[in-house]
């Protein structure tokens, strides 16, 4: 089964040297499940063709926000609208927000604080998961399509969404491990707002990354992908 990874942002040279770009992190995260991968560098204007041979797509996070209106963003949102329902897609952080916006939802600055660190999320099935997060914006109005919010946190009510058998998305970063989020915080320490630093420090050491999102993503693609 072949998955197209839409690379929506590039990490800093320092983080890239240690961990690779986001597409490599997702290849590592999903390595146990036997997928084949191809990367489309969306930030350079590259998008999948309608007739490509991918069985599903994953949109990564990004250092950019959707309200920056960079030249590649409008074509990406149009691509999401066109692809939605034809092949399964997964959105992570920026990708989570992009799917919602493309389908008619709205994204804005997080109303409380820029959210950083490992956060504990409550799932709709009554269980919990701890996932690394790093976002200053989030979904504030859900799109008017069939969906279910499947996870939330104290300051993030739409932390995970299932769009029937068409898409799933997560505001947090399942590809980040504990070391990565710590190094990311250290690299941004000089520019983060005091409230964001406090948010991180209050949670530091309280939770460790603990989730099965890689399995959820793999199950979704295997169940809904065109290569099934």
Binned average pLDDT, 10 residues per bin, the chain of 228 residues: 97 87 96 97 96 96 95 98 97 98 94 76 96 91 97 92 96 94 83 75 78 97 77
pTM score: 0.93
What per-residue confidence (pLDDT) applies to 9? 94
User: In this structure, are strands 36-41 and 2-7 parallel, antiparallel, or unpaired?
Assistant: parallel
Using alpha carbons, select from 130, 134, 63, 145 the residue that is nearest to residue 100.
Answer: 145
Please report, for the domain that includes residue 167, its CATH number: 3.40.50.880
What per-residue confidence (pLDDT) applies to 226? 63
| Domains in the chain, number | 1
On whether residue 184 sits in a domain, the answer given is no
What per-residue confidence (pLDDT) applies to 21? 92
On whether residue 122 sits in a domain, the answer given is no
The domain in which residue 163 lies consists of 2-109+136-176+211-224
On whether residue 193 sits in a domain, the answer given is no
Report yes or no: 155 and 113 within 8 Å, Cβ to Cβ: yes
Distance separating alpha carbons of residues 8 and 64, to the nearest angstrom: 8
Report yes or no: 213 and 131 within 8 Å, Cβ to Cβ: yes
Distance separating alpha carbons of residues 225 and 168, to the nearest angstrom: 13
On whether residue 189 sits in a domain, the answer given is no
């Amino acid at each position: 089964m072949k998955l197209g990874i839409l690379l929506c942002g590039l990490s800093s040279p320092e983080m890239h040297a240690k961990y690779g770009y986001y597409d490599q992190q997702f290849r590592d995260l999903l390595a146990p499940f036997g997928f084949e991968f191809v990367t489309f560098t969306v930030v350079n204007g590259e998008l999948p063709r309608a007739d490509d041979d991918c069985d599903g797509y994953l949109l990564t996070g990004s250092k950019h926000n959707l309200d920056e209106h960079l030249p590649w963003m409008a074509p990406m949102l149009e691509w999401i609208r066109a692809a939605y329902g034809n092949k399964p897609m997964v959105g992570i952080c920026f990708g989570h927000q992009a799917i919602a916006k493309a389908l008619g939802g709205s994204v804005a600055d997080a109303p409380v604080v820029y959210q950083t660190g490992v956060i504990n999320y409550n799932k709709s099935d009554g269980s919990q998961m701890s996932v690394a997060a790093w976002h200053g914006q989030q979904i504030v109005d859900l799109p008017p399509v069939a969906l279910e919010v499947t996870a939330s946190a104290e300051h993030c009510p739409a932390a995970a969404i299932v769009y029937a058998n068409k898409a799933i998305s997560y505001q947090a970063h399942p590809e980040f491990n504990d070391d990565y989020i710590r190094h990311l915080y250290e690299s941004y320490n000089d520019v983060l707002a005091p409230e964001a630093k406090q948010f991180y420090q209050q949670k530091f050491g309280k939770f460790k990354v603990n989730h099965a999102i890689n399995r959820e993503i793999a199950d979704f693609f295997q169940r809904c992908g065109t290569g099934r």
